[in-house]
Amino acid sequence: MELNKIENILEKYFQGETSIAEENELKEYFSSPNVAQHLKQYQPIFGYFSQVKEQKMTQEIPLQTKKRKVAWLSIAASIVILLGIGAFYYVSDNSTDNVVAKSELGTYDNPEEALAATQKALALLSNNVNVGIESVHYIKEYEQSKNKIFKQ
């Protein structure tokens, strides 16, 4: 009975019509010690299938350690850059404070005094500008004489 069943499954197996469960049954039968004599020739086939399935991948899979390095590198680089920018602002902030503190010119509390000081400063400025403009008059004279010659 048992043997009949195995023979049936075996026939189906070679037709490619067995299910996984039936194939497992065959594997089990052929791995047992009491295999019928006339079926002994199939034993290595199923033995082989079971044996091969035991093979394992032994090597580690290298998962782009390079990429990880790049990631760490970029993190380190950005920290350095941030520190650099931070330090720059920190130092330069301090120094501008100092310049302002040093060049503090004071202020006037009295509006009249402030007006006078401003007028004085503006007069100084316009005097200097006038000195500059005086030399422009020479150019005007030069142009006049040029016009005489070329008779416009």
Judged by beta carbon, residue 63 or residue 149, the one nearer other proteins is 63
3-state secondary structure the chain: CHHHHHHHHHHHHHHCCCCHHHHHHHHHHHHCCCCCHHHHHHHHHHHHHHHHCCCCCCCCCCCCHHHHHHHHHHHHHHHHHHHHHHHHHHHHHHHHHHHHHHCCCCCCCCHHHHHHHHHHHHHHHHHHHHHHHHHHHHHHHHHHHHHHHHCC
Judged by beta carbon, residue 53 or residue 151, the one nearer other proteins is 53
CB of 76 to other proteins, least distance (A): 19
Judged by beta carbon, residue 49 or residue 142, the one nearer other proteins is 49
Judged by beta carbon, residue 20 or residue 99, the one nearer other proteins is 20
CB of 5 to other proteins, least distance (A): 19
CB of 80 to other proteins, least distance (A): 25
CB of 101 to other proteins, least distance (A): 53
Residues in the site for other proteins, rule: CB under 8 A?
Answer: 13-17, 20, 23-24, 40-45, 47-49, 51-53, 55-59, 61-64
